[in-house]
Every structure is written in structure tokens, then in C-alpha cells.
Structure 1
Amino acid sequence: MRTFVVLILLYLFSAKTGIAQTIFKIAEVLQSNMVIQQKRPFKVWGTATPGSVVTIEADWSKSLTIKADNRGNFIALIYVPAAQKGDFTSRKISIKNNGQATVLSNLLIGDVWLCSGQSNMQFKVSEDKNAATELPAANYPNIRLFSADLNFSATPIHTIKGKWQACTPESVKNFSSAGYFFGKTLFHRLNIPIGLIFSGIGASKVEAFIPQDVLAADKALDSAYLTPYLNSPKSKEKIDGGFSFEKVMRPYLLYNAMIHPLINLSLSGFCWYQGEGNRNEREVYTLATQTMIRAWRERFGQGDLPFYYIQVAPYFYEKEDPELNDYAFFREAQERISTLKNTSMVVSMDVGEAKDLHPKQKRALGIRLARTALNLHYGMDTVAYKGPHCKSMQVKGNTAVIYFDKESVKSGLSTKDGKAPQFFTIAGADGVFHDAEAKIAGQTVVVSSDKVPQPVAVRYAFTNYPVTNLQNTKGLPAVPFRTDNWPEKR
């Protein structure tokens, strides 16, 4: 009875003085088996009793202490050294508070990349065309994987579910295929630990990954996405974590629950594969994605982190008409995202499957993502990452000569199947495009058609579902293009 009374009195005293006993807990994404980003501060954050001291001891640096604030939150920064090639030393961090301790063990120091987007980024290793040979060999104890559980939130939250695991055939089979092949390629070239986080969901739209206040601050994005949602009955619903195809399209919910909880993590950069959900948009999609990139960079607070993204693949959308080009105009809008600093697009036109929205050759795309990172982020200038990119057109008589960016064709031009380049069309002043004959001539392509004696414009792979064969001799596919600026016919 006396003990009960004492407890009641302590409770009343705490309530009166505003002192609360907060549970000692660190952020859920901070776990044993994770990779810690090299050469950047490692943030340890969580909750503890307000004003209490938290001691953090990393086995590679001096211990430090910090007090929880008056709301019970704490965050500390630990210096992290550079990763050394071939060094896979297991590390440990102890976090102590009021006689309690949490120990993070089997940690590695290396590079961490966040992969996000919709179903083609979520596409599993076990579904990949190369799964039969790749999965049994996927024993990489120094590649670590974290898949975030799906969640939605109407406000930014700090909790996220998931488990850091070493890469094994079992742990990787349900992981992002593009993400895995990206990380595996980096691992083999860099010989340092690689951490991969997947936090995304199929069918999602870009506006779902943009913070609400950022959407509100831009008139075009507010008008296109935010205000229509806030004025709809859907915005008044109670938001829970359950999946629906409609809910993954709502503005800002996925940012709040799937990206915001990660913003204290130090990263090397982002990989992104999304667009199908916004395919009917043009300029507003370019704006939205660039705005999302800027917002993520600002929230993560690590400068202009690299952002590498995969182009949507050819797909017919249940319309078998080889002249339809609405998806080509969307891909053009998607390509313009790369005008933003430290971004680059990976081309997917040669590995698409015209009647499959989820092409199964994700290995090639993951490797191309890695080649982009190796060249642009890691400074390996000899690693080719660009496919042929149209620079200009010159009319010579009844032919049009296509010149490419020199860097993209310095190894030479070729085709994947040894046949003539496909999916070139040519038009005269009437603006009517006709199928064209295309021939490789050194580092150029010569295009012509008997139906167009005086060429004015050329388009390449500028329809909805062309699976292409033009590439450079490094096997990197040509970027779709058009030399005209004629408005889209809708």
C-alpha cells in the first residue's frame, strides 16, 4: 500500500512540475548491421528523459555526451572517417542513458544510397530476367539492405519500420532489383561497404514524395496537386498505413512517412525510378520532380546530393498504334529533369518490353545507374555512362545528318543487333513524319526517305513503345530525340 501511495505521489509531482519520464529509444532506422556513410557526420538521434544525459561511444572515436532537450529529444553527431578499400572491419556504437544501453554492432563504414520511386524501382530481384543465375550467387556480407515498410502520414513523422540485413540470396530476393544491381556494381568497383535503402511503393506519383509546404509554396504545383486534394473529401479522411492504389497518388503522404524519417541519415545520394503515374503531364512533371529533388536535398542538409534516375521504358498502354507519341513527349519532359545540377538520366529504351509495364531486365538499368555514379560522383572519367545524344542536324540534299555529342559517341556508333538503326522518322515542311532509312556513317547517322525530298525535321524513337537498337560501342543506348519544336498534337 505504501509503495502504491509513493508511486501516486511521484506521478502527481511529475505532472505538476512538467517532468515526464520519456522512454529511452533511438531512431528505428539506426540498427545493427547497417552501413554508416563515410566522411560525413553520423547522427544518433532518439528520445530520453528530458534533461538526462546520453553517452555515445563509437569504437573509432572518442565518447561524447549530450543532454536530451525539454521535450525528450536528443541528436548527436559522430565523426566518421573515410572508408578504406578492402576494409570491412566490423564496428560498434554504444548509446547509454540512465543505466540503460543500446548497442549497435556489426556496423560497416562505406557509402549509403537511397533508392525510391514506384513499381519499377520496387521490382524484385527474384522477378528479374537474370534471377536464376544472380540470386544463388548473391552472398555479399558487405552489402547491406534496408527495405522500408509501407506507411502513410498526414504530417511528417520520425518513425519508420524495416530491418538492416546483410545481402544474401534470401534477404535480397524481395529487394529492389535495379537498386541491388546498382549497389553490387559499385561494390565490385569501389571495394568498400555499400548500404542500400529502398523506400517507395508501386503506382505512386511524384507529388506523393514532395513535402506539403513545398507544394504550397509553388503556384503551379499548388494548383496542379495540392489545392485539388485539400478541397476533396479524401483529405478529410483519417490516414493509416494501409495500401490502396488511390492513396499512393495523394500529395505529400509518402514523403511524410517514407522519406522524412530518414532525413537525419548521411547519404552518398539518391536513385529514382518513377514517372508512369504522371505520364499525362509535361512541364508540371519536370517542375515537380526538380522541386522534389531540391526539397530532399534541403531536408537532408548535405548539399546538392547526386540524383540519378531511370527513364520510363517503352510501353503501349493497351493501344497498338505505332504512331502514337504521347509517352514520347512525357519522356522528353522527364529528360529535362537533368537540367538540374548534379542529376542524370539513365536510358531504358533498349531493354523495354512494349507490352509489359515492368520490363524484366533491371540488371542493365542498375549497372547503368552505377556507371553514372562511378563517373559523375566517384570521378572515374574512364567509365562510360552516356549513350549517343543528339547535338544537331544538318540537311544535305535529300538526307539529314544527325550529329551527336562527341563524348557520347567517342567509342563509335553501333546497333545492338547488327541491323540498321530503327525507329527514325523524317518530315518535310508539311510536318508529316514518314518512316526513314537510317545508316551509320562514322560518328553520325544519315537519315532519308523517298517520301521526303526536302527534310526539315528528324525524330528518333519518338513514339510510345519503340524498343531500340542504336547504341555506342560501349553498349549504351541512344537517347530519344526530335530536332523540331512543333507542338504536341492532343
Structure 2
Amino acid sequence: MNRSIALFSVFILMGPGLKGFANIRLPAVLSNNMVLQQQSTVNLWGWSSPAEKIFITTSWSSTVDSAIASGDAKWNIAIKTPAAGGPYTITFKGNNTIVLNNVLIGEVWVCSGQSNMEWSSLNGLPQMDAELPNSANPNIRFFHIPKTTALAPQDDCAAMWTECNPETLKSFSAVAYYFGKQLQQKLNVPVGLINTSWGGTPAEVWTPEGVVEKNPELKAAAAKIGATNWWPHAPGRAYNAMIAPITSFAVAGAIWYQGESNAGTASTYNALMTTLIDSWRRDWNRDIPFYYVQIAPFAYGNKNIGA
């Protein structure tokens, strides 16, 4: 009798969770207001119960696609996107239903680097102060990843897609915005900008730790970069938290503005950037275009700066 009462009590406590079904969940980069890369094969992915079948429907297609979660509760599906357009909806149905609204198809770019890329109107840029009042443009979307580090590659981040307007532009990268604005005007397609930047950071923190450690020259150079209270310095720390979560998200390419924090190890910067670019292309599984600005010469007051 006592055993029966105990079992009954367990069932009552478990309640609706007795079936063991978990709600499907999407990463932050798959959300309302996002831009998907046009005329491409893009990944849609997330988490659910193991072996659960997820049905995916897009409003630009009459096809219902499906994916089955693996034993570690992850699922992924590759779908084709049309030419630029929208807004569209994407519906995910499993144990629960998620509907993504206001989705556009266009060009998506990753914008990364140090303060040159990070700076916004909040840093007192007069050009941005003049731009803000007339900046509203629903065909430009922002995904701003906060400054975060991790010891190992992460599968999600704390960010969200927003439309460009005077409020959302205030804290967004000025360089990324003007790049996206020109693209949107020249190509006349929606543009999605992923801002993942951190002032002061050396390029090593944006490069997977493993590839730096395997290269004696890069490893020795990384060891020369001293710790600060303002930004990470160890290889891979920003990459793990601010790049790895989006490498499954299809992009057109990347723009990069960085270099000052590597001035003291200038002799290895070419090899470091080659390694960084190769690593990103490998993890995106695509030979994405990668454009970067070379920092202009500056009198740093250190005669051995290029040593």
C-alpha cells in the first residue's frame, strides 16, 4: 500500500511533464525580424525532445519540410531561399508551435573587429548624430551580439533582430550601418547586419584557440599580449561566445576593422589574419568574402612597436 501511494505521489508531482516532451526551442539568431541570405541554402536548427519530428513551413513555399531531432535533442534542416523579398513567416511545429514573423530575404553580413567597428553614436560621432533622425529603414535589420566570452564554443547567444530606426541605431556600429545602408541602396534588397565587435580586442580572441595553439609562431605572439581589465586577450574567448553561435547561419560575407591591439606583434599579423579567415570559412563551410580595413599609420610612441 505504501509503495502504491509513493508511486502515485511521484506521478502527481510530475504532472504534464510525465510524457517527457520538451518544447522546441530556436537559437536567438533565428527570430522575428531576421534576414535570411537570398537564393541560398540556409540552415534552420534548434532543440527539442530526442527523436521528435519537427515540421517547418515557410510562407514563400508551399512545401512542408521536416527534421527529426537526434539523440542529443538537436535538429537541423537545410532549406532553399528565393530571391530577395518579404516579409515572410516561418512556422515550426512539434510539441509546441513557433511562428517567426516579419522575416526578410536579402543579403546578410557579419561585422566584426575592435573599437573601429564597435563605435556608434554613443561614442559622440557627429556623422551619426546627423544620421539618426532620418535613419528609419525596415529593409535594414540589426543583430547585435553583446560582449561575452566563453572557454568553449557556444551554440547560442543573447541577442535579437531589430529593424533599423533612430533608437536601435544609437548603439549599433557606425561602420556596419553605413556599409549596410550603401548595400541596401545599391542592390535594392533587404540587408541584415550582425554586429559582433569589441573595442581593444586583439585578433587572437576572434580566432579559435585550437588553431592558434597548434601554430608555434602564433602561440608565441599571443603570449606577448598582456591582460587588461577592459577586454579579453586569450585566444578564442570572443570567438567561442560571439562567432561560434552564428556559424550555422548563412551569410554573404564578413567585414573586419581591427589591428591596433596587435601592433606589438605586427610581424605575425599577416599569418594571424590568414588563420582567422581560414578558420571562419571552415566553420561557415563556405568560402565567404572577407573584407578588412588596414589601420592607418599612427605614432604610438614605441620604437619597437613592429617587433
Please give the TM-score of this superposition, normalised by the length of structure 1. Answer: 0.57
What is the CA–CA distance in structure 1 between the aligned matches of 2:193 and 2:282, rounded to whole Å?
A: 21
2:103 to 79, 102, 107: 107
8 Å Cα contact 1:183-1:196 kept in structure 2: yes
1:214 to 211, 215, 230: 211
Is residue 141 of structure 1 aligned with residue 146 of structure 2?
no
Give the deviation of 1:94 after TM superposition.
0.5
What is the aligned partner in structure 2 of residue 182 from structure 1? 179
Structure 1 pair 7/155, CA: closer, same or farther in 2 (3 Å)? farther
Give the deviation of 1:129 after TM superposition.
2.9
Given residue 58 of structure 1, which amino acid in structure 2 is its aligned partner? Answer: T
What is the CA–CA distance in structure 1 between the aligned matches of 2:21 and 2:211, rounded to whole Å?
A: 35
What is the aligned partner in structure 2 of residue 244 from structure 1? 229
What is the CA–CA distance in structure 1 between the aligned matches of 2:87 and 2:65, rounded to whole Å?
A: 21
8 Å Cα contact 1:201-1:248 kept in structure 2: no
RMSD (Å) for aligned C-alpha atoms: 2.6
8 Å Cα contact 2:212-2:219 kept in structure 1: yes
Is residue 258 of structure 1 aligned with residue 242 of structure 2?
yes
Within 5 Å, which residues of 2 pair with 1:29-178? 29-61=29-61, 62-83=63-84, 87=85, 89-98=86-95, 100-126=96-122, 127-178=124-175
What is the CA–CA distance in structure 2 between the aligned matches of 1:46 and 1:155, rounded to whole Å?
A: 19
| Unpaired runs of at least 5, structure 1 | 15-19, 235-242, 331-489
Deviations 1:405-461 (A, max 9, x none): xxxxxxxxxxxxxxxxxxxxxxxxxxxxxxxxxxxxxxxxxxxxxxxxxxxxxxxxx
What is the CA–CA distance in structure 2 between the aligned matches of 1:188 and 1:118, rounded to whole Å?
A: 26
What is the CA–CA distance in structure 2 between the aligned matches of 1:250 and 1:220, rounded to whole Å?
A: 15
8 Å Cα contact 1:125-1:180 kept in structure 2: no
Deviations 1:338-371 (A, max 9, x none): xxxxxxxxxxxxxxxxxxxxxxxxxxxxxxxxxx
- Tell which structure's C-alpha radius of gyration is larger: 1
Deviations 1:383-413 (A, max 9, x none): xxxxxxxxxxxxxxxxxxxxxxxxxxxxxxx
8 Å Cα contact 1:122-1:177 kept in structure 2: yes
Within 5 Å, which residues of 2 pair with 1:232-311? 244-245=229-230, 247-302=231-286, 304-311=287-294
Structure 1 pair 190/3, CA: closer, same or farther in 2 (3 Å)? farther
What is the CA–CA distance in structure 1 between the aligned matches of 2:21 and 2:147, rounded to whole Å?
A: 30
Give the count of matched residue pairs.
299
8 Å Cα contact 1:41-1:77 kept in structure 2: yes
SS in 1 for 2:111: strand
SS in 1 for 2:264: coil
Give the deviation of 1:291 after TM superposition.
0.3
SS in 2 for 1:174: coil
Given residue 31 of structure 2, which amino acid in structure 1 is its aligned partner? Answer: Q
Structure 1 pair 312/71, CA: closer, same or farther in 2 (3 Å)? same
| Unpaired runs of at least 5, structure 2 | none
8 Å Cα contact 1:116-1:271 kept in structure 2: yes
Please give the TM-score of this superposition, normalised by the length of structure 2. Answer: 0.90
Within 5 Å, which residues of 2 pair with 1:311-330? 311-317=294-300, 319=301
What is the CA–CA distance in structure 1 between the aligned matches of 2:14 and 2:259, rounded to whole Å?
A: 59
- Percent identity, please: 33
